[in-house]
Structure 1
Amino acid sequence: MELFGDHRLHLPDAELDWYPHWLPSAQADAWLQALIEQVSWSQPQVQLFGRWHRVPRLVAWYGDPQASYGYSGQRHQPLAWTALLQGIRQAVEQAAGASFNAVLLNYYRDGQDCMGWHSDDEAELGAQPCIASLSLGQARRFDLRRRGSQRIEHSVLLEHGSLLVMRGSTQHHWQHQVARSRKISAPRINLTFRRVNP
C-alpha cells in the first residue's frame, strides 16, 4: 500500500490527502468482486420537491451498533461489520491516521449512476470530520467546488485502488460530486469511512 511522498492536494481551506495507487491492482480487484457479491445493497428513495425518487446508485451502511446516521432526510441504522469490511477498515485507518466506526458504500453500476453536489457536514460527524474515501473499479471524476459557487474549481480522477482522505475544514468550505457520464459502462464501488458521534 502506497503511503509515501507528498500527496497533499493544495486547495485553500481544505485538507486533502490523495494516494492514487494506494492498493495493488490484484488486491483492488479481489475487494471489488467480493463487495459486489457480499454487500447487502439497497436503492432507497428520497423526497425532492414533494416527489419520491430512487437514488441513482445502490448503497449500504455498515458500522458499530451506535453509528446511526442521518442524510438525505433519512436515518440509516448500520448493518453489522463483515470480516471483509473490518479488514478494509483497519487498513484505511492505518493510512488515514484516524479511527472510523462506520462506512457508507456506494455502488455505481455504470455511468448513469451518480452522486449530486453535497458536503459531508452532518452534525453527528463533528466539527471537523475526517472522511476516507476508497475507490474500486471504473475510474470516475470527482469534482470540487466552493460552497455557494457554481464553478468546478478542481477535479480528481478516482482510479481503481485509490484513496482520498478529506479532513479539517474541507466539508465546511467545499462541495463534491460524481457526475453522470455516457462514456462509462463498467461498475465502481466507493467506500467512505467516517466517525459518527452518537
Structure 2
Amino acid sequence: MALLPLPLPQAELLFDPAFLPATEADALLAQLTTAVAWEQRSIRIFGQEIPQPRLTAWYGDAEARYTYSGLAWEPRPWLPALQALRQRLEATTGARFNSVLLNLYRDGRDSMGWHADDEPELGPAPAIASLSLGATRRFRLRPRAELAHAPFGLDLPSGSLLLMRGPTQQHWQHALPKTARPIGPRLNLTFRWVAGAAG
C-alpha cells in the first residue's frame, strides 16, 4: 500500500496500515525489544516524581540532542536495524530524520498522555514518522482550543506507518490511552529531525 491522507483540518496526516509485512514487523519487534537500551525515566507532575508509564530510548546522530517534558536526551549511536529503517522511511516520505524516539508499551496499562511534538528544536512544522510494531492500540487526536472539530481516533496495527507533518503539531494534540483489554506489547518508533544538529 501507499501513504494516504487522513481527513483532518489544519493537519497533514498520511497513513499506511501495512507499511511493513507482518513477518518483518514481528521480527523487528523481537529484535528491538532485546537490543534497545530501554529506560524508565521519571517526570514531575504537580510537584511529584512519577515513573513514566512506558519504557523509552533515544537514538540518533551525535548532535541530535532533545528535550521534552523536562527530560534531556543524549542520543545513543544508531543500531543497524534503526539506521536501515531511517533510510527506508526517508525514501518513502521524502523527509530527513536524524533521530528516533522509541516507546515500549508493555501492556494496556502503559500509555502516553496528551501532548504535541512542538518543542523548539523540532521546528515550526516538523515531519514525524511513527512506525508501530506489536499489539494494535488506539491512537487519539484532539484539536487545540482554537480549532472547532471533533476528536479523532485511529487504530495503529503492527507494521503501520503514520506520517504527521505540516501544521499538525500546531493545531492538534495526540495520546495513546490506557486500555483495560488484555493486550500484548507495542513498540512505537517516531523518527524526527532535531534542528541545529549537523547534517
Q: TM class, shorter-chain normalised? A: over 0.9
Distance 2:27 2:116 in 1: 30
- Residue range with higher mean Cα deviation, 134-143 or 177-186: 177-186
- Equivalent residue for 2:165, pick from 164, 167, 181: 167
Q: Which amino acid aligns with 1:190?
A: N
Distance 1:152 1:35 in 2: 36
- TM-score normalized by the length of structure 2: 0.95
Distance 1:91 1:139 in 2: 22
- Alignment of 1:24 onto 2:21: yes
Distance 2:113 2:173 in 1: 9
- Equivalent residue for 2:97, pick from 87, 100, 112: 100
Aligned to 1:193: 191
1:153 Cα deviation (Å)?
A: 1.4
1:185 Cα deviation (Å)?
A: 2.6
Distance 1:192 1:50 in 2: 29
The alpha-carbon distance between structure 1 residues 76 and 150, as it changes in their structure 2 partners (threshold 3 A), is: farther
- Alignment of 1:49 onto 2:46: yes
Q: Deviations over 1:48-78 (max 9, x none)?
A: 1111000000000000000000001111100
Unaligned regions of 5+ residues in structure 2, if any? none
1:10 Cα deviation (Å)?
A: 1.1
Distance 2:157 2:52 in 1: 23
1:127 Cα deviation (Å)?
A: 0.9
Aligned to 1:182: 180
Q: Deviations over 1:157-178 (max 9, x none)?
A: 0000000000000000000000
Aligned to 1:139: 136
- TM-score normalized by the length of structure 1: 0.95
Distance 2:137 2:148 in 1: 20
Alpha-carbon RMSD across the aligned residues, in angstroms, is: 1.4
Task: Look up the SS of the partner of 1:121 in the other structure.
Answer: coil
Runs of 4+ in structure 1 off by over 6 angstroms are: none
Distance 2:115 2:139 in 1: 12
Aligned to 1:75: 72
Distance 1:192 1:150 in 2: 27
Q: Contact 1:143–1:152 at 8 Å: present in 2 too? A: no
Taking the TM superposition and a 5 Å limit, the aligned residue runs for 1:113-124 are: 113-124=110-121
Figure out how many residues of one structure are paired with residues of the other and give that number. 195
Distance 2:187 2:149 in 1: 26
Q: Deviations over 1:107-145 (max 9, x none)?
A: 000000000000000000001000000000000000010
